[in-house]
Amino acid sequence: MASFERASPVLKEILLRIYNAEKPIEVDYHLYEFGSVEYHIKSSVSEPQVTYLSISTPFLSQGVFLSYGLSPFTLKMVRQISTDVLHIVEPANDGYQLTLRLDFSKLPHNKESLKIITEVSSVQAVILSSQLKEMLQNVNSWDSSQGMYKPIKLIYHPKEPFYVIRQPQKIVAVFPMRFKDNSDVIIATSFFQELMDVVSLKKWAKVPPCNWSPIPPLELRGESFEDLSTNGGFVSFDISSHHVEGKRLDKTVWSLLNFYAYVKHHVKCTRGFIQRRMRRRLDNLVKVLEKSRVEDGQIKKVQGWRKMRKMVGSKSKMIKRRWGDLGKKIKRIRFRIKIHGFSRFRRRWLTVPSFSSSTAYTKLQTNGNNN
């Protein structure tokens, strides 16, 4: 589920408006929610006490359940919401897996009516929970070879699949974690490591053990590379038999379905907390600086600093001026250095004599001495 509430808030509001209406109203709504969930609510003036609710929701695993619709176990869980108010219409309307007939005349006129409508609004959560419950109960009847059971890929949201693996003494649920921002990866990694430390304490010995690893576990060997490409690692929970017995089964199933939402909620709250702390620290530093400027001693220090800065600036200007004059003098030295008597020596010893012969000549080796 995208939220921690079982009931759909918008669906609950529409059903309450129909139930509390003083006059019969005509309703024909199509409602779309997270996870490719679609509701169709229809109520007519000719039959004011009856409302039809059709639901379309994707299956958790396409290869597990029957192809023609919901399993008998799921339909049984839906009927248990309220046997008096809720009736399953067979067959369901076209394009929907389930159609319910709600008789509001059977609702009690007290606070119990709000409770029943809330439970009816959570029918999609009931369907998902029942699918996972049935999977955990019958997982050992599926493909296995040499004691190793095939991982079952569950898809509630296309980008958030997780796996359920049956082992001889436990059930392992593996969650590949993906995040968009690098800061979220850091926060989530710290959270997973802290979660492992907390679960290892004796105080929490009864909760499912938690493990986090940056690489996929061996049980997922053979799965597609796309599903195993993560930047947040893999979180796994070891669910033993006493975690799926009695009322604990419903709590365990709901926790598994909401694990992605819980992690995202924790990361978002932690990021907001860090940002608030940073803004608060910044505000405190600004207040300290403003307070220091008001004090007399700090004003003198600021004035002294300005005077020192003025002195340093004047000295630097003087140095620049002196070095500038020296640079100009160096640039003006463009003539050759003259040596007294060197021109006469060059004419006598450093010139090549000319010969009248056109066929050959002899090159004289000259030795110049500069001393």
- Given 209, 241, 266, which residue is the final one in a domain? 266
On whether residue 99 sits in a domain, the answer given is yes
Same structural domain, 15 and 131: yes
- Given 266, 284, 301, which residue is the final one in a domain? 266
On whether residue 278 sits in a domain, the answer given is no
Question: What pLDDT does residue 6 have?
Answer: 83
The answer, yes or no, to whether residue 189 has pLDDT greater than 50, is yes
On whether residue 369 sits in a domain, the answer given is no
How does pLDDT run across 225-256, given as a tens digit for each residue? 888 888 999 999 988 877 877 788 888 888 88
On whether residue 295 sits in a domain, the answer given is no
- What value does the CA radius of gyration of the chain take, rounded to a whole number of Å? 42
Residue 19 burial (CB count, 10 A): 17
Same structural domain, 165 and 133: no
pLDDT: which is higher, 354 or 18: 18
The answer, yes or no, to whether residue 361 has pLDDT greater than 60, is no
On whether residue 167 sits in a domain, the answer given is yes
Same structural domain, 161 and 69: no
Give the C-alpha distances (Å, rounded to integers) separating 315 from 311, 312, 318, 322, 325: 6, 5, 5, 11, 16
Domain of residue 194: give its range. 151-266
Same structural domain, 133 and 158: no
Same structural domain, 181 and 106: no
The sign of the torsion formed by the CA atoms of 150, 156, 162, 164 equals: negative
> pLDDT band at residue 339, thresholds of 50, 70 and 90?
very low
Same structural domain, 166 and 195: yes
Q: Give the Cα separation of 239 and 207 in Å (integer).
A: 9
Sheet holding 234-239, edge to edge: 152-155, 161-166, 171-176, 234-239, 210-213
Same structural domain, 14 and 131: yes
Domains in the chain, number = 2
Q: Give the Cα separation of 89 and 69 in Å (integer).
A: 13
- Given 206, 238, 266, which residue is the final one in a domain? 266
Q: Which of 31-45, 77-91, 184-198, 241-255 has the lowest mean pLDDT?
A: 241-255
Same structural domain, 155 and 256: yes
Exposure string (b/e) for 75-102, b if CB count within 10 Å is 16 or more? bebbeebbeebbbeeeebeeebbbbbeb
Same structural domain, 111 and 168: no
On whether residue 224 sits in a domain, the answer given is yes
> pLDDT band at residue 291, thresholds of 50, 70 and 90?
confident
Same structural domain, 68 and 160: no
On whether residue 94 sits in a domain, the answer given is yes
> pLDDT band at residue 53, thresholds of 50, 70 and 90?
very high
Same structural domain, 19 and 113: yes
> pLDDT band at residue 144, thresholds of 50, 70 and 90?
very low
How does pLDDT run across 76-121, given as a tens digit for each residue? 889 988 888 899 998 889 889 899 999 988 888 778 889 999 999 9
> pLDDT band at residue 321, thresholds of 50, 70 and 90?
low
Q: What is the pTM of this model?
A: 0.67
Angle, to 10 degrees, between the axis of helix 182-199 and the axis of helix 259-294? 110
Q: Give the Cα separation of 267 and 247 in Å (integer).
A: 29
Which CATH number does the domain housing residue 248 bear? Answer: 3.30.1460.20
Same structural domain, 76 and 190: no
On whether residue 63 sits in a domain, the answer given is yes
